[in-house]
A and B are shown apart, each in its own frame.
Chain A
Amino acid sequence: KQEVTQIPAALSVPEGENLVLNCSFTDSAIYNLQWFRQDPGKGLTSLLLIQSSQREQTSGRLNASLDKSSGRSTLYIAASQPGDSATYLCAVSTAGGSYIPTFGRGTSLIVHP
């Protein structure tokens, strides 16, 4: 059974710092890995989707990498801003007949001015 772990669980940084959020998964036979953002009391917003054949994806100040063989992904946030404060969730869709995403518990990020 796929297990997804996110480290750290919480992070508080001053504005302007570059950040790295980590996601690891136990079963490397994946279809894709997706990073989401969740604001308090809200649903999930998709940030980046990395297919299993890809090594990274970029969107603005966000860059996500994937090392499938080692079961790891990182989300890099450049020049963090207070508006980046949210919980960031990693989800993995595993091979074996379905694409159902399995989620980590998330990293709660606070960027203070």
Chain B
Amino acid sequence: SQTIHQWPATLVQPVGSPLSLECTVEGTSNPNLYWYRQAAGRGLQLLFYSVGIGQISSEVPQNLSASRPQDRQFILSSKKLLLSDSGFYLCAWDRQYMNTEAFFGQGTRLTVV
């Protein structure tokens, strides 16, 4: 069966520090991968998606970047965090070219202080 792992679960970082959140998927190959952010009182905002290794599409210009060094690994990064980067970050995957459901990780609660 397929599983998705996301870590860490919670993170408190000072303004200006770097960030690295990791997401891995098991039990499938060549998935679409997504990073979403959920801010308090707002819906899920798509940040990045990837259809393959090294292929990253950004939905909104911001302080964050994403990389996909391996087929089932998706990393969200920042060189210098801002207060506005605080939120709940969710990784998700679904099957490419197939009209199927999306599966989500358990999320990372990031607080920038």
Name A residues whose Cβ lies closer than 8 Å to a Cβ of B.
Answer: 4, 31-32, 34, 36, 41-46, 49, 51-52, 89, 91, 93, 98-106
Contact = CB atoms under 8 A, between A and B. Distances in A.
B46 A42 contact: no
A32 B95 CA distance: 14
B33 to A, nearest CB: 11
Given A34-B102, A46-B102, A100 B107 contact: no
Nearest to A105: B43
B101 A99 contact: no
A39 B6 CA distance: 17
Interface of B: 6, 32, 34, 36, 42-44, 46, 49, 88, 90, 92, 94, 99-107, 109
22 contacts: A31-B99, A32-B99, A41-B107, A41-B109, A43-B90, A44-B104, A46-B102, A46-B103, A49-B101, A91-B44, A91-B102, A99-B94, A100-B32, A100-B34, A100-B46, A103-B36, A103-B43, A103-B44, A104-B43, A105-B42, A105-B43, A106-B43
A46 to B, nearest CB: 5
A106 B42 CA distance: 9
Contact of A99 (B32, B42, B103, B109): B32
Given A89-B44, A103-B44, A42 B107 contact: yes
B100 A43 contact: no
The 7 closest A-B pairs by CB, nearest first: A105-B43, A44-B104, A103-B44, A43-B106, A43-B104, A49-B101, A43-B107
Contacts of A104: 43
A31 B100 CA distance: 9
A43 B105 contact: yes
B90 A44 contact: yes
